[in-house]
Every structure is written in structure tokens, then in C-alpha cells.
Amino acid sequence: MINFRQAITTYVRREFGDIAYIFTVMFYPEYDEVDYDEDELKKAIDPYGLKRREIEKLLSMRLEKMDRLETNKPRVSQELLDKVRQMPNWDTFDNEGDPQELMKRVMV
């Protein structure tokens, strides 16, 4: 028998990428800031701009991942939303608008 959670996680990871973390570890992935020293990017230290291009590429990749994560956040059906609204503390959850908390409620 196929484990539903594992099957949906595999599908979501294949189709949407890192958003699948909400099914496995119950949190959205966070992408670390790109750490660099401004002084290392100066023309005297990086005359060919190789370090600068590397940093720009890393910054671009991070922003693309964050954008993809935001774009692919799960959408919830009205039927499921109606059921979740009947759960205790709905007002608090609704005000916070936390998709991770919604996922926890749905998976219970």
C-alpha cells in the first residue's frame, strides 16, 4: 500500500520544489542571506569582477527560490476551508494567516 503522505510529498517536490517541506518537516524552507564582504568586491581586490558575478548569481538564485516558494504556496479548496473553520481557535489562526498552521490542522 502506498503511503499517502510520502506519495504527495514526492509529487509536490517534483512539481513544485521546496514547498514539499511543509509535508515532511511541517515548515516552509528558509533561504539564508548571501554572506559577503563589500570590500572583497572592490576593483582593486576583484579586478575581473569574478567574485561580484558569483555573489550576484547567488543573490539571484536565492530570490528565484523565494519567488517560486511564494508562487507555489498551496491553494485550499472551499470545502476544506469550511471544515478547518469549524476547528477551535479559528479566529486566531485566521488573523495570523499562517499556511503552515493550516497544514498542521489538515494533517491531523
Residues 26, 37 share a domain: no
Do residues 66 and 84 both lie within one domain? Answer: no
Residue 107 CB partners (closer than 8 Å, separation 6+): 5, 23, 26
pLDDT of 102 strictly over 70: no
Domain, as residue range, for 21 = 1-30
> Percent of the chain, pLDDT > 90?
32
Let me know whether 15 and 35 are in one domain: no
| Banded model confidence at residue 106, pLDDT cuts 50, 70, 90 | low
Instruction: Give yes or no: residues 70 and 85 share one domain.
Output: no
Distance of alpha carbon 41 from alpha carbon 77, whole angstroms: 49
- H helix intervals, 1-108: 4-16, 21-24, 50-71, 78-85, 90-96, 99-107
pLDDT (mean) for 60-86:
79
Specify the number of domains making up the chain: 3
Co-location of 79 and 65 in the same domain:
no
Compare 76 and 106 and report the one with higher pLDDT. Answer: 106
On whether both 69 and 81 belong to a single domain, the answer is: no
Same domain, yes or no: 25 and 45: no
* 68/83 same-domain check: no
The answer to whether residue 63 scores a pLDDT higher than 90 is yes
